């Protein structure tokens, strides 16, 4: 009977060691939980960016106003018979 108790105790110790320090341990579980939180936050940001891009695509497909606005802001294009003024700030001379 004493031998059986010693063997069961040794088995429990071996399983506890594996649980806390071995492969797939509790430590690794918590590390993976932290990595998961980081990836979920990253995915959330990417989903927001994708929604904004989809809204831009829908805007560009639906009408010419957004195309005109984008061409003016990004490319500096002007319409025919429009006058373009560029104001340049003066630099201080020392």
Closest to 55 measured CA to CA, from 69, 44, 66, 42: 66
pLDDT at 53: 95
pLDDT for the residue 94 = 65
The tens digit of pLDDT for each residue in 45-62 reads 999 999 999 998 888 888
Taking only the tens place, the pLDDT of each residue in 60-93 is 888 788 888 888 888 888 888 888 887 888 887 7
Amino acid 84: pLDDT:
80
Number of DSSP helices (H) and strands (E) in the chain, helices first: 3, 0
User: How far, in Å, CA of 67 to CA of 72, rounded?
Assistant: 9
Which pLDDT does position 63 carry in this prediction?
Answer: 78
| Residue pair 78/72 in contact by the 8 Å Cβ criterion | yes
């Amino acid at each position: 009977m004493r031998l059986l108790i010693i063997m069961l105790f040794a088995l429990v110790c071996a399983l506890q060691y594996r649980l806390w320090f071995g492969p797939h341990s509790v430590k690794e579980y918590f590390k993976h939980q932290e990595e998961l939180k980081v990836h979920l936050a990253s995915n959330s940001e990417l989903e927001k960016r994708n929604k904004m891009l989809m809204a831009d695509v829908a805007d560009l497909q639906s009408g010419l106003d957004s195309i005109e606005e984008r061409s003016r802001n990004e490319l500096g294009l002007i319409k025919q018979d429009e006058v373009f003024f560029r104001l340049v700030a003066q630099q201080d001379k020392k």
